[in-house]
Structure 1
Amino acid sequence: MARYKQSRSLSWFLGTAIAVLVAGTGAAWWAVSSLKPKPESTTVFPTPSSVNQSSSQAVPKSSLGQPSHAQVYWLVAQGDKTALIASPITLAKSLDKSQSLQTALEQLLTQTPPSSQSSAIPPGTQLLSVKNDAQGIHVNLSQTFTQGGGSESMTGRLGQLIYTATSLNPQSPVWIEVEGKPLETLGGEGLMIDQPMTRQQFDENFHDSTHP
Structure 2
Amino acid sequence: MKDSANKNRSLGLLASLAVILILGGVGVTLFQRSGGDEVVQPPPDLTEPGEGGELTLTAAPEIYLLQDTGTDLELLPMPITVDENNNVLTSGDPELMLTEAFEQLLEISETSPGLSAIPPDTRLQNLQITDAGVRVDLSREFTLGGGSASMLGRLDQVIYTATSMDPDAQVWLSVEGEPLELLGGEGLEVPQPMSRADAYTSMQ
Higher strand share: 2
Of the structure 1 ranges 133-142 and 114-123, higher mean CA displacement relative to structure 2 is found in 114-123
Residue number in structure 2 paired with 1:63: 43
Does structure 2 retain, via aligned residues, the 8 Å contact 1:74–1:117? Answer: yes
Of the structure 1 ranges 107-116 and 141-150, higher mean CA displacement relative to structure 2 is found in 107-116
Cα deviation for residue 116 of structure 1 reads 4.8
Show CA shifts across 1:155-181 (max 9, x none).
110011111111111110000000000
Does structure 1 retain, via aligned residues, the 8 Å contact 2:108–2:116? Answer: no
Higher helix share: 1
Residue number in structure 1 paired with 2:95: 98
Matched to 2:98, the amino acid is: L
Q: How does 1:14-93 map to 2 (within 5 A)?
A: 62-63=42-43, 68-91=59-82, 92-93=88-89
SS across alignment from 1:74: strand
| Gaps in structure 1 of 5+ consecutive residues | 1-59
Cα deviation for residue 93 of structure 1 reads 2.0
Does structure 2 retain, via aligned residues, the 8 Å contact 1:82–1:211? Answer: yes
Q: Does 1:186 align with 2:177?
A: no
Segments of 4+ moved more than 3 angstroms? 60-64, 113-116
| Gaps in structure 2 of 5+ consecutive residues | 1-39, 47-56, 83-87
1: CA distance, partners of 2:63 / 2:110: 9
Residue number in structure 1 paired with 2:19: none
Q: Which residue, out of 170, 192, 196, partners 1:195?
A: 192
2: CA distance, partners of 1:115 / 1:107: 11
Does structure 2 retain, via aligned residues, the 8 Å contact 1:72–1:88? Answer: yes
Show CA shifts across 1:7-33 (max 9, x none).
xxxxxxxxxxxxxxxxxxxxxxxxxxx
Cα deviation for residue 90 of structure 1 reads 2.6
Distance change (3 Å), C-alpha of 1:89 and 1:151: same
1: CA distance, partners of 2:142 / 2:168: 24
Cα deviation for residue 79 of structure 1 reads 2.8
Cα deviation for residue 149 of structure 1 reads 0.3
Distance change (3 Å), C-alpha of 1:61 and 1:197: same
Does structure 1 retain, via aligned residues, the 8 Å contact 2:41–2:90? Answer: no
SS across alignment from 1:98: helix
Bigger radius of gyration, 1 or 2? 1
Matched to 1:151, the amino acid is: S
Matched to 1:173, the amino acid is: Q
Does structure 1 retain, via aligned residues, the 8 Å contact 2:123–2:138? Answer: yes
Cα deviation for residue 118 of structure 1 reads 0.8
Distance change (3 Å), C-alpha of 1:141 and 1:81: same
Residue number in structure 1 paired with 2:115: 118
